[in-house]
Structure 1
Amino acid sequence: MRTFAYQRVADQASALSAAVAGSVRYLGGGTNLIDLMRQNIEAPQALVDVSRLPAEITEMPGGGLKIGAGVRNSTLAAHPAVRTRYPMLSRALLAGASAQIRNMATVGGNILQRTRCAYFYDAAGSHCNKREQQAGCDAIGGFNRYHAILGASPHCIATHPSDMCVALAALDASVCLVGSGGERSVPLTDFHRLPGETPQIETVLHPGELITAIELPPGPAAVRSTYRKVRDRSSYAFALVSVAAGLNVVDGKIRDVRIALGGVAAKPWRAREAEKMLLGEAPTPDRFRASADAELAAASTFDGNAFKVELAKRTIVAVLAQLAGADA
């Protein structure tokens, strides 16, 4: 690990001031950033410790929640309002990591963890366009069981690892930011970028910008929701495929549906095509399958991850059937 400067701040203004010059990163729980620094993947000149900034979960007008960026994942998962009004989020957090990591990791840090794969970590022996532009992507011709089937590019096929963000994408969450240009809010679905020709640019953050909070709107589909994660082992592991879904059925018709997928793209993947096909329809397994087929029609696969297409479809159907009270 290279040497770096360190500064702990107690307020937002101090954090923004400290991040003005040079290669500076904000430090929350450090569960991803410090790991990457140890392996010489990340090499910031300075760390600005924002772990002492206020971290609260507060009610919003109309029944939504505002979640401070410094809230620990374990705290968020156990919060009564989250468990009752946004169960998919609580379940995603509990599926996301070990208890020790959840106790350290923050909401802001979870959102900002790097999209990565084993080749990204192998700085000594593998080519990776995320580490070095135009270096190539060894995953494309290599071991790609865990890699993207949607939204990938010839430059990168890594997947975003967050479970929490999949639920946030389905819940229409907004990311609150502050920087030198003032405050702004970005939908979570727009916050992360697809790789395109610049896979090293993963978010829409401006230099020095700080995540301050996440805002969750209320809704019946958020209340009747769940999260399912399919992985190679039941202990801590990234998803092969995951589904966050919420369903609101009135008089036998789907009035509202929210679906997001994890493990399939470089960002949490909002399943807009599937949602469009389900609105106003009866909640039947056949309709669920047709919507899953439509969503995965654009999938592009490799030898190692082609199985994900059918796995994603079946998981979508199973989760929606569970929410509808039907048999998958």
Structure 2
Amino acid sequence: MLSRRRFLASSAAASAGLAAPARPVNVIVIFCDDLGWGDLSCYGSPIATPNIDRLAKEGARFTHCLSANPVCSPSRAALLTGRYPTRVGVPRVLFPVDKTGLAEGEQTMANLLKAKGYQTMCVGKWHLGHLPPHLPTYRGFDHYYGIPYSNDMNPRWLMEDEKVLEEQTDLDTLQEKYTKRAVQFIESAKAAPFFLYMPHTYPHIPLGAGKAFRGKSKQGIYGDVLTELDWSVGQILTALQKHKLDGNTLVLFSSDNGPWFQGSPGMLRGRKGMTWEGGVRVPLLARLPGRVKPGLVCDSLVSTMDLLPTICALTGASLPGRPVDGVDISSLLSGKQRELER
């Protein structure tokens, strides 16, 4: 016959065994095009970006994050693989006449998370090849919605998966379309872990802003575009909160390289296309309640290539079976370490 103490102990153990397992971490990576290190108000810009600033307030802000390359395609290839662009077959900017793209043997964030049971989607500018072996749906993404190249390259197709929806999409409505599609994906994938990669087309020129945002800033069309970009981030955060997903969703926000003709590199020398720091230092914000220390400002040197190994560490996904140049920075996100040896 069980004693009362042993009965209570066994009951507690049984209850613990029936407890709901910890929810898997959803992942959202918002990656801007040509956004300068000094373009956000949380980095000292006069342009108001309250929703993006919220990520810094509720999470971590990095002051010394470097992209792997000062131009678009190589930087994106490095972000998605955690490897230097020269390793992965994208050493330069790709154009619509090119037949190449991200090397077929490379594993992207989407591949690694999909193998872990995640639903995956890319919404935005791809710029890693437009032919079937290189499109997002061949690189680990269940679905794709966006343009395959920069907004200054023709044809400016708007695609869904592998189908062309519009031959020349309207740049003024592009951010709104992206945002609507991203929110729809969050709603449809809320019951399972998901990965949303949102590489925005802007603030790459030519600039286009929705009617509701024209003239809203005091910094002209560039400020209007950033105001709409900030609105888009706010819509994503609202969708997470609506579906009670904000507590277990990692949101990462960064840029592919420094600003081009407009935009601010802060006090740094150089711009897009230059290896001066203004061409490669980019904003990096991260939020994950309970795992990322709120209000943290980290001065440690980090790279956008670090995001892949960090995401793998936080989700339990396996690293690719080849050398990774980025490092896991989750100890910086939590505040357990102030600096990493590289």
Pairwise same-fold verdict (TM > 0.5): no
**Structure with the largest fraction of strand:** 1
Q: If you compute each CA radius of gyration, which structure gives the higher value, 1 or 2?
A: 2
Q: TM-score range by the shorter chain?
A: under 0.3
With a CA cutoff of 8 Å and minimum separation of 6, indicate the structure with the bigger relative contact order: 2
